[in-house]
């Protein structure tokens, strides 16, 4: 089996911990923002969950669906939270399909530090649009991931797509 190393991932995890250790949880903090303001990456607020862009995306359009409650264990989610998470993952998939026309998606959660969770104290679910050939030599050799679209521009497009889903 071949291994693909991602040394930049540990740098990201360390930067998040340093940046937010004294401020509290940046995911909880995101709830205080207005979706329509372009100075944050909040895309959608539901009753029990919210959707936010990943500031360090694996690919253009990488979103996270997050329960409002600060939890770190999947088993603590209520049935209502589970339902809303799934509904918002479906909504994210529809919006990303309209805006970015991906050929597939990765959807999942990293629970616990050993699983690769960069933010292990607040569970969240990733949805990453994928295209054939979207991985290349840049991350492996240059420790660089190319994100070819500005995050604010992506947010504007996603907000427009979400408005059609409401």
For the domain that residue 120 is a member of, what is the CATH number? 3.30.428.10
44 is catalytic: no
SS3 72: coil
Please state the separation of Cα 5 from the chain's center in Å: 21
Catalytic residue among 33, 124, 126, 153: 124
SS3 1: coil
Per-residue pLDDT at 165: 87
- Please give the average pLDDT of every successive group of 10 residues along the chain, which has 166 residues: 52 53 78 92 96 88 96 95 98 96 93 79 93 61 53 88 88
Burial zone of 4 (CB within 10 Å; 0-12 exposed, 13-18 middle, 19+ buried): exposed
Structural domain contains residue 17? no
Q: Report the alpha-carbon distance of residue 150 to residue 38 in Å, rounded.
A: 12
Per-residue pLDDT at 118: 76
- Listed in sequence order, the residues at least 6 apart from 38 whose beta carbon sits closer than 8 Å to its beta carbon are 152, 155, 156
Dihedral of alpha carbons 159, 120, 15, 18, sign:
positive
Per-residue pLDDT at 22: 41
Number of domains in the chain: 1
Per-residue pLDDT at 142: 42
Q: Report the alpha-carbon distance of residue 29 to residue 120 in Å, rounded.
A: 16
Structural domain contains residue 81? yes
* Domain assignment of residue 146, given as a range: 7-12+26-31+39-165
**What angle (nearest 5°) sits at the alpha carbon of residue 12, between those of residues 8 and 27?**
150
Structural domain contains residue 21? no
Phi-psi region of 134 (alpha: psi -120 to 50; beta: other; left: phi over 0): alpha
Whole-structure pTM value: 0.78
Structural domain contains residue 79? yes
Question: 151-165 and 79-100 are packed helices; what angle lies between their axes, rounded to 10 degrees?
Answer: 110
Structural domain contains residue 78? yes
Q: Report the alpha-carbon distance of residue 39 to residue 55 in Å, rounded.
A: 12
Structural domain contains residue 18? no
Per-residue pLDDT at 139: 46
């Amino acid at each position: 089996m071949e291994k693909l190393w991602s040394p930049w991932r540990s740098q990201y995890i360390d930067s998040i911990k340093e940046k937010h250790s004294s401020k509290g949880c940046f995911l909880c903090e995101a709830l205080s923002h207005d979706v329509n303001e372009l100075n944050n990456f909040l895309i959608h607020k539901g009753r029990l969950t919210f959707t936010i862009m990943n500031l360090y995306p694996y690919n253009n359009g990488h979103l996270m669906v997050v329960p409002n409650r600060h939890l770190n264990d999947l088993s603590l989610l209520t049935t209502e939270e589970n339902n809303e998470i799934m509904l918002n993952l479906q909504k994210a998939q529809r919006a990303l399909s309209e805006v970015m026309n991906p050929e597939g998606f990765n959807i999942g959660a990293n629970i616990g530090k050993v699983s690769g969770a960069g933010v292990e104290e607040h569970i969240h679910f990733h949805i990453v649009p994928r295209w054939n050939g979207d991985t290349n030599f840049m991350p492996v050799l240059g420790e660089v991931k190319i994100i070819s679209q500005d995050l604010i521009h992506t947010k504007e497009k996603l907000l427009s797509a979400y408005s059609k889903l409401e």
